[in-house]
Amino acid sequence: MSVRFELFHADGGTRARRGRLHTAHGTVETPFFMPVGTQATVKAVGQDDLRSLGAEIVLGNTYHLMLRPGEELIAELGGLHRFMAWDRAILTDSGGFQVYSLAQNRKITEEGASFQSHLDGSRWLLTPERSVAIQERLGADILMAFDECPPSKADRGYLEQSLARTTRWLRRCAAAWTRGAGALFGIVQGGLDLGLRRRHVDEVCAVELPGYALGGYSVGESPEEMHASVAEVAPLLPADRPRYLMGVGTPVDLVTAIEAGIDMFDCVLPTRCARNGLLFTTEGRLNLRNATHARDPRPPDPACACYTCRTHSRAYLRHLFAADELLALRLATLHNLHHYLELMRGARAAIEADRYGAFAAEVRRRESGRAPA
């Protein structure tokens, strides 16, 4: 297979796993978090920043790159790695989430999903075959199957129809996949209905693929509902393949899902929050726009070793946000991505030491902003 998963340690007290994902563009230590680079860029930071932070893989998006600049241009210029000057691994989302997020501008049929472009109103048709072909032309290391992501609390009748269609689309994706440089992952849907989730696991995993993902979470349900569902469903995925929880989430979401056996994550939350002045710290969340920081000489997080915290004060960062300076976005993003990547490094070390349960409990405490007991 073009991607090989090596699982070499399981935590003694939880389902947390420690492994490595070997790709054509390097090895990625698991569990890991992928910064989201939807349009071939992680907003507000450069590729040198990502390397300095220790990111080993980033995410791109088929739908957005198809619209602009187009997969033909990217392929002409040497593929997505060369186009964005990123020599490490890339995973591309299939465009399936846009079936959910662009609900007012799309129509779903058995053939695929037709969209009205959010850029110029033009009409586009994305089918399972086209999604796979685009991702292969982009040169992604990991390709995601084209699926429909229904709202988490959709009625059972809608979920039944959606799951059946997603299974048929998966088989078409697998038939279209050339098994070249990129590895195709299947996606399990089913909302919060555990019966449907279990059944869809069986259907998706019946298609032999290098990895499998859980989709359709963090789309309207409560964190507690999501955590309970993932805890039931994640262990059902094949133990010898990487398990990916798509589009999730907060640090508490991540450590809880790792506890259930998840290996891979992505989410826009750390970068989006950063652009709004909200930082994740070891003392809880910090709103840099708050006037109480106007004269505060302390770093955002005294326990953090990122460039932002080593170099700048809360007062300076608040000033940058108040003045709408672009540097504010970069410094805040650097910190939040460092926080997430450090969280993954800590999780990996805790799993190796067979103390993951205690690690996860401490993360939950500190993310709540409560002082140690």
Task: Report the pLDDT averaged over residues 210-238.
Answer: 96
Indicate the burial class of 157 (C-beta count within 10 angstroms; 0-12, 13-18, 19 or more). Answer: exposed
- The mean pLDDT value for 258-277 works out to 98
Residue 1 has pLDDT above 70, yes or no: no
Confidence label for 96 from pLDDT (cuts 50, 70 and 90) = confident
pLDDT, residue 118, reads 83
pLDDT of amino acid 2: 82
Does the annotation mark 93 as catalytic?
yes
Residue 371 clears pLDDT 50, i.e. is over it: no
For residue range 314-368, list pLDDT tens digits in order: 999 999 999 999 999 999 999 999 999 999 999 999 999 999 999 999 999 998 8
* Lowest model confidence (mean pLDDT) among 102-106, 220-224, 231-235: 102-106
Write down the catalytic residue from 93, 141, 147, 193: 93
Q: What are the boundaries of each domain within the chain? A: 4-267, 274-367
According to DSSP, the residues that pair with 41 across neighbouring strands are: none
Single out the catalytic residue among 141, 147, 253, 266.
266
Report the distance separating Cα 128 and Cα 120, nearest Å: 23
Task: Write out pLDDT tens, residues 169-193.
Answer: 999 999 999 998 799 999 999 999 9
**For range 251-266, the mean pLDDT:** 98
pLDDT of 102 over the 80 cut? no
Give CATH superfamily name and number for 4-267: Queuine tRNA-ribosyltransferase-like (3.20.20.105)
Q: Is 253 a catalytic residue?
A: no
| pLDDT over 50 (residue 87) | yes
pLDDT in tens, 140-160: 999 999 999 888 778 899 999
